[in-house]
């Protein structure tokens, strides 16, 4: 815990999303990896003997010249290639694109050799199995699935059956024109081209999209992944009764229905900084949930004052992505009933989470504690002030031993000032290195922190309250 313990364990960030395993070459970084893996598998196979694939009851003529040679174009037409695949593998320039461009090529080939026209088409195109006929259906379903969602950028992922991809690659690499477009990338192009006609203001991007769309080419299933938005700010915690993040109920371990102990909430504490900040924002952005990422944390009974503790709020599955930041700040402050305050919010990205988790900054505190059989005032002030500049050796405190590794941490007390003695109580201001257990610096945790205020006074000390006055992060 920050202020009373080291920062929490860091989460792994920027892991590749599973959908990227299926992303198109033109619009995702994972395509190169996927195709290389598939190519390696193909290389391991024995090369074709002429009987691998049949079209119209006859084996494919692997000895035919490749496109764009006229005989090569004629051969892939005889194979029963659809107009769309004809255009992408023939390597011929046409006025039109896609299926219309393929019809141009087919008509030119028929004009050169009328005998080509007698070859009937098979039930399925050998290159795409008539996948391009489903483009319009997929576009309609994407439009329907994204109604009500605010977005400006899209990234596509395409999942195709492995055997279809491999068979297409065999034919295209042998008979198609050099650098002809692979099936997966061409299918993504076709979908995006049609979507652009319905959504002229939408941009297709390679990274950081608002929406990631995965299309299953076998079942035509459409999965829409609304990417989260991120907000950076600083919070002040003015209450000594709320945790930073949601705290699952100890009795039911946070199960969805909760229990009698937590009154069905699943939470040990009904409120947290996460929800007091996040819930108003979640409601405005019509989002599903939030995650809270702070630069360390303070104990439940510790206030965080000054300019506040830096944090990033991750807003998950938002239906709206744009909002007036001043209005968001006002909504948080109005709904928190004086327990939490924020002054400003800024849009940010996921990388900011890593930066605030990795930042180690000094912190200033004010602490008040009681001393048993307290010595003379000057003796107390001199002993406590003498700890300024020392390096502490702090064994993992008992109160966090169930979730922290057992080890000794060395932390510096940068300065101690404003020592005030009031009867048997002492109040002081101190600045310490990040990760210092402040309460243990006072009462020593049964000797686990050396030196300590309790040790130099040779008296038992009891912490009454603690405030984080400033986090020196900037």
- Which tokens in the block code for residue 332? 């948080």
Angle, in degrees to the nearest 10, between helices 162-175 and 183-198 = 100
Distances in Å between the Cα of 22 and the Cα atoms of 78, 155, 203, 213 are 31, 11, 20, 10
- Residue of 68, 81, 108 lying closest to 183 (CA atoms): 81
- Residue of 206, 346, 337 lying closest to 279 (CA atoms): 337
CA distance linking residue 212 with residue 177, whole number of Å: 31
Q: Of residues 83, 210, 271, 299, which has the active-site annotation?
A: 299
Distances in Å between the Cα of 144 and the Cα atoms of 188, 195, 283, 404 are 18, 12, 23, 49
- Which tokens in the block code for residue 161? 């059956």
Within 10 Å of residue 295's Cβ, how many Cβ atoms?
A: 23
Is 316 strand, coil or helix?
strand
DSSP run (H or E) holding 70: helix 70-78
343 is catalytic: no
CA distance linking residue 260 with residue 420, whole number of Å: 46
**156 CB burial (10 A radius; 0-12, 13-18, 19+):** buried
CA distance linking residue 191 with residue 26, whole number of Å: 12
Q: Which residues are designated catalytic?
A: 299
């Amino acid at each position: 815990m920050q202020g009373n313990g080291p920062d929490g364990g860091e989460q792994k960030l920027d892991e590749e999303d599973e959908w990227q395993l299926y992303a198109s070459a033109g619009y995702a970084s994972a395509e190169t990896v996927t195709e290389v893996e598939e190519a390696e598998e193909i290389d391991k196979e024995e090369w074709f003997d002429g009987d691998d694939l049949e079209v119209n009851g006859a084996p494919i003529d692997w000895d035919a010249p490749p496109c764009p040679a006229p005989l090569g174009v004629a051969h892939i037409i005889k194979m029963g290639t659809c107009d769309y695949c004809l255009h992408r593998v023939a390597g011929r320039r046409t006025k039109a694109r896609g299926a219309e461009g393929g019809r141009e090529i087919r008509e030119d080939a028929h004009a050169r050799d009328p005998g080509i026209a007698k070859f009937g088409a098979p039930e399925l195109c050998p290159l795409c199995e008539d996948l391009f006929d489903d483009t319009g259906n997929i576009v309609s379903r994407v439009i329907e699935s994204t109604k009500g969602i605010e977005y400006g950028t899209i990234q596509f992922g395409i999942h195709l059956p492995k055997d279809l991809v491999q068979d297409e690659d065999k034919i295209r690499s042998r008979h198609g024109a050099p650098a002809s477009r692979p099936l997966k990338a061409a299918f993504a192009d076709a979908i995006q081209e049609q979507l652009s006609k319905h959504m002229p203001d939408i941009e297709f991007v390679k990274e950081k999209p608002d929406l990631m769309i995965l299309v299953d080419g076998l079942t035509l299933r459409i999965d829409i992944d609304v990417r989260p938005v991120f907000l950076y700010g600083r919070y002040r915690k003015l209450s000594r009764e709320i945790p930073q993040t949601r705290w699952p109920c100890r009795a039911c371990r946070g199960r969805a229905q909760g229990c009698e102990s937590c009154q069905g909430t699943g939470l040990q504490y009904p409120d947290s900084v996460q929800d007091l900040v996040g819930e108003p924002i979640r409601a405005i952005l019509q989002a599903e949930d939030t995650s809270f990422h702070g630069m360390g944390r303070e104990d439940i009974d510790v206030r965080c004052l000054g300019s506040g503790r830096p944090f990033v709020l991750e807003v998950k599955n938002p239906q709206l992505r744009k909002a007036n930041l001043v209005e968001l700040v006002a909504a948080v402050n109005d709904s928190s009933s004086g327990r939490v305050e924020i002054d400003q919010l800024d849009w940010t990205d996921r990388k900011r989470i890593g930066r605030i988790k990795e930042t180690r900054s000094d912190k200033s505190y004010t602490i008040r504690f009681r001393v048993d059989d307290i010595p003379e005032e000057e003796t107390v002030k001199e002993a406590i002030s003498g700890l300024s500049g020392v390096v502490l050796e702090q064994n993992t405190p008992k109160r966090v031993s169930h979730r922290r590794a057992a080890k000794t941490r060395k932390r510096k007390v940068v300065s101690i000032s404003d020592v005030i003695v009031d009867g048997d109580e002492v109040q002081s201001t101190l600045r310490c290195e990040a990760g210092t257990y402040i309460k243990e610096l006072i009462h020593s945790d049964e000797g686990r922190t050396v030196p300590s205020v309790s040790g130099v006074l040779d008296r038992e000390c009891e912490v009454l309250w603690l405030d984080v006055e400033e986090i020196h992060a900037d």
